[in-house]
Amino acid sequence: MRRTGIFYHPSFSRRSYLTVGRRLADFPAAMQHILERPNVRYYESPAVSEELLLKVHTPLMLQQVRRDPFCATAWHSAGGVVQAVAEVAAGNLDNAFAFIGAGGHHAGRGYFWGYCCFNDVVLAIVNARERCGVRRFAVLDTDAHHGDGTRELIEDDPDILHVCFCGTDAVSADGTKVDVDVYALAEEGGDMDREYLARVEREFVPRAVAFRPDVTIWYFGFDTHLMDYGSLGLSERCYPRIAEVVIKAAEEASRGRLVVVLGGGSRTDLATAIIPKILQQLAGA
């Protein structure tokens, strides 16, 4: 059985940024049966430190986030992701799932938008490099929108593979920064579940395996569901299939070291139906 960590804070079920409302209203009860497993450990997400924040973001941006009521959960959201990646990088956990109440991938060095406040993934990478002696990371972003803040912050870092499913097709000269146009798939129609999954298998898996990261990070959003605000036409059945592919890729690429970060998505019913299935897959048999 895999040693799996689940990072959560009670505020995530009560307050969140505007686009997701109370999407986690059924949690943590919805995952109680998983938390009872002997190989699963629950962590209450801590607040991220200001010292770490200032290594990624500007002092002015921190002031702006403090004044934004939609960013009330930003400190614990980022702190949980930071701790999850550190625990996996240090070998204390095999994998982890980090819940958030405020998003991260639209936050750059001095700006934030789209109800993303602090760039949780980049903060986690900076912290893990300093404290855990790891260097290379593969980041897969399947949220419905381009992770522009993440890309800005890691643009010139050859030790981070960033594969973002968004609205353009592009590959950097060194092959480490990749955009995959899945908007075009939605416009073409057809079986979106099958086509989207095929893109994950083709565009992410071989790159991650060749890259050999120390840790794989999956920024997972269910806003791509056909009934959610970023709809790309995916059905509920697609997400566990993507999880299966990503888990297998991480086993080959990074010795199973995988952190799943909850990105966009607004519907309580979808969160309750999809997330426990992915937690179950992470924990294994």
User: What pLDDT sits at residue 17?
Assistant: 53
Query: What is the full DSSP assignment across 53-111?
Result: HTTTS-HHHHHHHHH-GGGTTHHHHHHHHHHHHHHHHTTS-SEEEE--SSB-TT--SS-
Provide the pLDDT for residue 118: 98
pLDDT at 85: 99
pLDDT at 115: 84
**Cα(209)–Cα(211) distance, rounded to whole angstroms?**
5
Tokens 């381009």 — which residue? 146
Q: In the 8-state DSSP scheme, what is residue 232? A: -
Report the pLDDT value the prediction gives residue 18, as an integer from 0 to 100: 46
Please, what are the domains in the chain? 4-283 (3.40.800.20)
> pLDDT value at position 101?
92
pTM of the predicted model over 0.85? yes
Predicted local confidence at residue 47, as pLDDT? 98
Place of tokens 């895999």: 2
- Cα–Cα distance between 277 and 259 in angstroms, integer? 15
Low-confidence ranges of the chain (pLDDT < 70): 15-21, 285
Give the pLDDT score at 189: 79
| Cα atoms in the Cβ-side hemisphere of radius 13 Å centred on 262 | 27
Q: What is the structure's pLDDT at 19?
A: 47
